[in-house]
Structure 1
Amino acid sequence: MKRNEFIKISGLAGLSLAIFPHFSFSTFSKEFTRNQLIGKGNPDIIGESYTSKMHKTTKEAFNKMKAAAAKDNFNIEVVSSYRSFQRQKEIFERKYRSFTSKGLSPMEAIEKIIEYSTIPGTSRHHWGTDLDIIDANASRPSSVLQPENFHGNGPYCDFKVWLNENAEKYDFNEVYTDNGNRKGFKYEPWHFSYAPVSVPMLKEYKEKIDVKKMLAEEKLLGSEHFSDDFIKRYYTDNILDINPKLLPQGSL
């Protein structure tokens, strides 16, 4: 290896460890394909079911966090983990048909969908790094993924306190925070991301994926209504306006 190449690599390693002390340098040096970034195939995904499929490194960290939570009488249940492009497409198009059949215009339907659901090809769940989690030991409401369940007298209130105090020890961060200045997706106290993998994946997503071109190629139901202004706003507000701890350096 040439000396200048060694210095460059060593410098990157030191920077990554200084900023993210729990992260391994190998995580940051990995390159991801277009298919991995948009949910069309990832050899690093392990697991069999909708709630168990995760990036292999995310799974290791999650198991450690789950074991720690169990010692405090919390039973972490994954409601949603890895979600393929096709699965996200099914969710998006089902909601689009439902909302438009109830009288909403195409753009009204799309705006309603993206309050909580992502457009296929843009979901963080495509990476296998992001989890929707609850406490299986608590009483189960009819609709588990509601913000009120995690606060006040909600069944997951104590669990949320535990997550606030412990999740980052295992490199999991809440994605869509309760920040009044944040735009894009609404507050999701159940949605956590494994930063050592999701941060470099977001970095490469920004570098490799032309969202406008990708969405045009995929021909989603209703995508003809995606104007340039809408895509620009969606990219800025929904993809990038997240917990700053999950943004690549230089994104702020």
Structure 2
Amino acid sequence: MKRSNFLKTCFYSGLGLAMLPQYSFIQEQTLYTRDQLIGKGNPDIVGDSYTTRMHKDSLLWFKRMQAAAEKVGIRIESVSSYRSFERQKQIYEGKYDRYTAQGLSPEAALEKIIEYSTIPGTSRHHWGTDIDIIDANAPRPRNLLVPDHYHGNGPYCKLKDWMDEFAESFGFYEVFTDNPHRKGFAYEPWHFSYAPVSKPMLKAYREMDVKQLLRDMEIKGSKYFTDEFIERYISENILDINPDLL
């Protein structure tokens, strides 16, 4: 890396570290509505398209992070950001229909869905704080979000190395890590969350009756949400994440 580029990157990172602690305290004071927490309406969401819509503060710091990465030839591109309840429902039910059509039982279909996809009303993408990212300067593989692309000789390994070193300076943390003791969703090296907003939103989310929320879901397969399934889903898929985001 050229010295000038390195210094510029360090400047952006230092700026993030200097400003985030105070901002984080401010966010802890914010109250969130039920609709905001389950993806049914959030006035803080801004952006022009499916891939750029985010919580306004997440977007601000995402752009600052993008600018820093550009200095070293990495073009961070969001391929998924804010996701409404209805959009998550489409994704979830599309998979449910496909898996059951392939012959899986409803229970087995649910287990397969929650390897990577959330039940609507429980997605972190509902908050506008979470992004799935690639390096737009790298060759674009047919299937974008594959763990191997972010390691070794994968097209996004340079991006992953940079994010590991600098992302937290801008408030972004990997959510579903490769910790072998972690349960729930599979490893997602592309999924990052803007902690100064997502942490207080998770805190507010946990204060809701999530069990009842899931029991009341009018979505395909919901009649197979047993108490055991719900309790395990909350413990493993919602809460077994990077501890820095709890």
Report the TM-score when normalising by structure 1. Answer: 0.88
Whole-Å Cα distance in 1 between the matches of residues 45 and 87 of structure 2?
15
CA shift, 1:215, in A, is 2.3
2:215 paired residue number: 216
Residue aligning to 2:113: 113
Deviation at 1:48, TM superposition (A): 2.0
Q: CA deviation at 1:91?
A: 0.4
1:4 corresponding residue in structure 2: none
CA distance, structure 1, for counterparts of residue 92 and residue 24 of structure 2:
35
Structure 1 residue 214 displacement after superposition = 1.3
Tell me what 1:23 maps to. 23
Whether the 8 Å CA contact 2:149–2:155 is kept in 1: the answer is: yes
What residue number does 2:67 align with?
67
Separation in 1 of the partners of 2:22 and 2:234? 29
Contiguous gaps of at least 5 residues in structure 2: 1-19
1:159 matched to which residue of 2?
159
RMSD after superposition: 1.2
2:23 & 2:177 partners in 1: Cα distance? 22
| CA–CA separation in structure 2 for the residues paired with 1:24 and 1:246 | 12
CA distance in 1, matches of 2:82, 2:98: 24
Distance in 2 between residues matched to 1:232 and 1:67, nearest whole Å:
41
Check the 8 A contact 1:130/1:192 in 2, yes or no.
yes
1:131-180 deviations in Å (ceiling 9; x for gaps): 00000000011001000000011000111000000100101000000100
Residue 193 of structure 1 corresponds to which residue in structure 2? Answer: 193
Q: For 1:236 and 1:161, how far apart are their aligned partners in 2?
A: 30
Q: Distance in 2 between matches of 1:215 and 1:172?
A: 28
User: Could you say what secondary structure the match of 2:216 adopts?
Assistant: helix
Q: Would you say the 8 A contact 1:45–1:54 is kept in 2?
A: yes
Distance 2:224 2:70 in 1: 47
Measure, in 1, the Cα distance between the counterparts of 2:207 and 2:145.
Answer: 32
Tell me if the contact between 1:22 and 1:171 (Cα under 8 Å) persists in the aligned partners.
no
- How many residues are aligned here? 228
Find the aligned partners of 2:24 and 2:98 in 1 and give their Cα distance. 44
Say whether the 8 Å CA contact 2:69–2:76 is kept in structure 1. Answer: yes
Pairwise CA distance, 1:24: 3.8
Ranges of 4+ aligned residues in structure 1 off by more than 6 Å:
none
TM-score relative to the length of structure 2: 0.91
3-state DSSP class of the match of 1:133? strand
Report the Cα distance in structure 2 between the residues aligned to 1:221 and 1:181, rounded to whole angstroms.
31
Q: 2:89 corresponds to which residue?
A: 89
- Residues 1-16 of structure 1 aligned to structure 2 (within 5 Å): none
Aligned mates of 2:107, 2:72 — CA distance in 1: 46
How far off its partner does 1:212 sit? Answer: 2.5
Contact 2:150 2:157 (8 Å CA) reproduced = yes
